[in-house]
């Protein structure tokens, strides 16, 4: 299953680059859902010869939370703010792709000098996880809208989760599930905030019209 694990790591990085090069928010959410689905399979690929309850729990939890529930909440949020496209970005599409490519190259260069304890199942886990974290951070700092910044944060968390899988045997299950719970809470709160912001903007024109009516003779 080492080949499938390597393929999963490459796909996770590819989906991160695809999110960077996408300006439609709905498209970014769908690509994130695909990335999270591939990420949920990595514990199964790592221990394909001897699957445990811990592997199955991670698979089900990651799949249900990050590949299904989180994209659903984000889609619900953008529907309530009537937003379909991300039009504001600090850098252009070509520069975004070039920047993402440079981050991938830098992540592989840094990972080549890291010495981690234990035997790694795949040589691609560390560089791909670092590249995903860096590209998630890039999404956060180059986009203006709250939803796309949340997506950048979630992509970063996917990279952190992939890095944690490299230390799978030393990391307690409670910490891993706590990370997933933190992501769920963060996205849920962001959805509530976006909904309240939308309500405030909808009430602002009405308040303005009432004030003009009061000023008229």
Give the torsion through C-alpha atoms of 163, 140, 77, 11, to 10 deg. -40
Cα separation values, 160 from 28, 125, 127, 210, Å: 19, 11, 11, 50
pLDDT at 134: 94
Closest CA to 31 of 13, 45, 44, 43: 13
pLDDT at 69: 84
Question: What tokens were used for 79?
Answer: 């529907």
What does DSSP assign to residue 118? Answer: S
* Domains of the chain by residue range: 2-199
Closest CA to 71 of 40, 34, 41: 34
Cα–Cα distance, 130 to 123 (Å, whole number) = 12
Task: Report helix, strand or coil for 98.
Answer: helix
Number of residues that this document lists for the chain:
217
User: What pLDDT tens digit does each residue of the chain (217 aa) get?
Assistant: 678 888 999 999 999 999 998 888 888 999 999 999 999 888 888 876 777 777 788 888 888 888 888 888 888 777 766 565 555 678 888 888 899 999 999 999 988 887 766 556 678 888 999 999 999 999 988 887 777 888 888 898 889 888 887 776 666 565 566 666 666 766 666 666 666 666 655 555 544 443 444 544 4
Question: What tokens were used for 142?
Answer: 């180059």
């Amino acid at each position: 299953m080492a080949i499938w694990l390597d393929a999963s790591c490459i796909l996770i990085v590819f989906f991160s680059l695809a999110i960077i090069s996408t300006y439609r928010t709905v498209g970014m959410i769908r690509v994130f859902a695909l990335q999270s689905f591939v990420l949920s399979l990595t514990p199964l690929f790592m221990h394909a010869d001897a699957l445990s309850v811990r592997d199955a729990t991670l698979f089900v939890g990651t799949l249900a939370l990050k590949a299904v529930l989180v994209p659903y909440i984000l889609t619900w949020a953008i529907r309530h703010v009537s937003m379909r496209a991300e039009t504001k970005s600090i850098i252009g599409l070509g520069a975004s792709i070039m920047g993402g490519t440079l981050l991938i190259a830098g992540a592989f260069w840094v990972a080549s000098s890291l010495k981690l304890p234990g035997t790694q199942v795949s040589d691609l886990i560390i560089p791909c996880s670092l590249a995903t974290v860096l590209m998630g951070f890039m999404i956060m700092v180059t986009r203006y809208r709250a939803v796309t910044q949340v997506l950048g944060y979630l992509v970063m968390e996917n990279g952190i989760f992939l890095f944690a899988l490299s230390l799978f045997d030393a990391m307690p299950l409670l910490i891993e599930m706590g990370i997933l719970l933190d992501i769920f809470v963060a996205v849920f709160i962001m959805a509530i905030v976006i909904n309240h912001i939308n309500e405030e903007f909808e009430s602002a024109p009405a308040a303005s019209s009432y004030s003009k009516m009061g000023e008229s003779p």
